[in-house]
Structure formats: C-alpha cells, structure tokens
Amino acid sequence: MTSFLFRLSPIFALLTLLGCTPLAPNEPACRMSPTLETEIDAHHAQEIATAKGAACIIKSQEKVVLIRHRLTGKLDFPGGGFSDDNSTACTAHRETWEETGFNVSVETYLAKTNNGLLLFGCDLDAGIDTLPDVFEPPPWATIEVSAIEKVDPFLIDHQDLRFKDDLILLRDSFISFDAKK
C-alpha cells in the first residue's frame, strides 16, 4: 500500500501545483454610507425592484476605474449580480471587491443602466491615485478580468464598453458623483 501511495505522490504534487485556481480570500464586511439604504428605499424603490445587479463608480482624480472584461476585451463597471443575502449596496461592494480587490465604501445611488445594473458612487482610500493607469487584477479575479484601468470617461467611446449604451450613463454618473478627497 505504501509503494502505491508513493507512486501517486508525483501526480498529487502536479495536481496541487497546476490544478488549483487561486481562491479569493474572505470578502471584507460591507461598508456603506449610514443613510444609503434609507435613501434607496425612499426614492428609488421602483428602480431597485427590477434591478439585476449592482456596480461601483470609483473616481481617481479625473478618471474612472473600470475593469477590462476577459471574454470581450471591453471595459465594464466593476460589479455583478445579486446574491440572496446582500442588499443592493452590499452587492456593489462585494462584486467590486471580487473583481478589483478594492474594499470600497458605497456612498450614494447614482443610476440604473438599461441592462438593470444599479450604479453606486464608491469611495476608495487605498492610494489608487498612485497606481498606473492599467494594472493587474487580483489573482482570484483573472478568470473574469484581464486588467483594471483608470480611464477618462470623456476620451472613450461607446465601442470601448462591453455594453455600448452605458457610455452616457457612465459620464453622467461620473459627473454627479463627488468623490471625497
């Protein structure tokens, strides 16, 4: 029996080294403005009811942080679909963390895209302004995200985005969200 296990040990070593995808660490606790859920319930309940997901608008000086979607090669908001136990704001927080590794603070509701994605203004105090305009996503996000990019929303066109009709909403949300500095 020992010799059988010894012969299998190279296979186990190979599977351990090559067969595993880096798992994401546990997600951080959701951080949001104390008044955000009340604001959403009071003013945006109908929009929220038909939403399919949530994302963050993160400002870095005069640029916005977007992800480069691996499958399409296009830019997209860091965000994604709802899970049963998350609020809309916490979904934006969780999905942004999963795709960028950034522990943002969700501050304000901005808009809803035609695809049902809720956009939230999110703050990040992690020195993002010192990062280059294009940088690697965290290892656990590389299946979905090929790069994280800081772009001027007024220098891209609709062809650059995964969903072309999001451009005007991206620009409007960028202007309306006054990120803390």
Contacts of residue 81, defined as CB under 8 A and 6 or more positions apart, other chains included, come to 52, 53, 91, 95
Q: Say what the pTM is.
A: 0.83
Max distance between CA atoms of the chain, in angstroms, equals 69
Yes or no: say if 124 and 63 are a contact pair by the CB < 8 Å rule.
Answer: no
pLDDT, tens digit, 9 for 90 and up, residues 164-180: 999 999 999 999 998 54
What structural domains and CATH numbers belong to the chain?
32-176 (3.90.79.10)
pLDDT in tens, 21-70: 567 788 889 999 998 988 887 778 788 888 899 999 999 999 999 999 99
Q: Please tell me the predicted confidence (pLDDT) of residue 38.
A: 84
**Pair 108, 120: CB distance under 8 Å:** yes
Whether pLDDT at 6 is above 70: no
- Mark out the alpha helices in 75-164 (DSSP H runs): 88-100
Q: Write the pLDDT tens digit of every residue in 99-120.
A: 999 999 999 999 999 999 999 9
Q: Could you tell me the pLDDT band of residue 95, with boundaries at 50, 70 and 90?
A: very high
